[in-house]
Amino acid sequence: MLAPQAPVTDDADGAPGGEAVVVRLGSGRFAAELSAVAEVGRVPAVTRIPGGPGWLAGIANWRGRLLPVLDLRSLLGAEATPLEAGARLVVLTADGMSVGVLVDSVEGTSELGDVLEEFPPALADRGSGLLAGQVPAADGPIAVLDARAILRLREELPRVRRAR
């Protein structure tokens, strides 16, 4: 049995519902609220960071800035296979921070509706902390990414020392 349903909120204005970008990570469908998406584009050249966590794909040059690029598939239960031509980078932003998330493909945009359901307890693991819940859809539920939780992963990244 699912926990009580709560309204989906759009972080930009607090209004219920909102439009979202729907992406695929492995066989799973995920949505990122449009208010948290700065850009969707081709996967840029990504430089690996030695000693970084497994979910850190590396860093990329994004509009003249270094952007951490995350591969959340392993954290969200999807198999981390080599990215294909349809792969994209979804740049999430909030509170002045940005992070790129690699996705297998982008399905398009969709209205989230006004009901956000919690996940069944069986799905509670580290990756579930990156999700706000799920929304029902005709072809199966869509997991809603929590952009702020994903951005907080930056706190676990190694700190770069600058040369003086």
For the chain (length 164 residues), average pLDDT per consecutive 10?
35 57 92 95 94 92 93 86 92 93 95 78 66 87 92 80 55
Q: Check residue 118 and give its pLDDT.
A: 80
**78 with 95: CB under 8 angstroms?**
no
Instruction: Please report whether residue 124 resides in a domain.
Output: yes
Q: Check residue 48 and give its pLDDT.
A: 93
Overall domain count for the chain: 1
Q: Check residue 4 and give its pLDDT.
A: 32
| pTM of the entire predicted model | 0.82
Q: Check residue 109 and give its pLDDT.
A: 92
Nearest to 40 by CA among 132, 120, 106, 129: 106
**143 with 30: CB under 8 angstroms?**
yes
Query: Which residues, in sequence order, are CB contacts of 128 under 8 Å at separation 6+?
Result: 119
DSSP H or E run through 105 = strand 105-111
84: domain range?
A: 19-156
Instruction: Please report whether residue 14 resides in a domain.
Output: no
Q: Check residue 113 and give its pLDDT.
A: 77
**CATH code assigned at 45:** 2.40.50.180
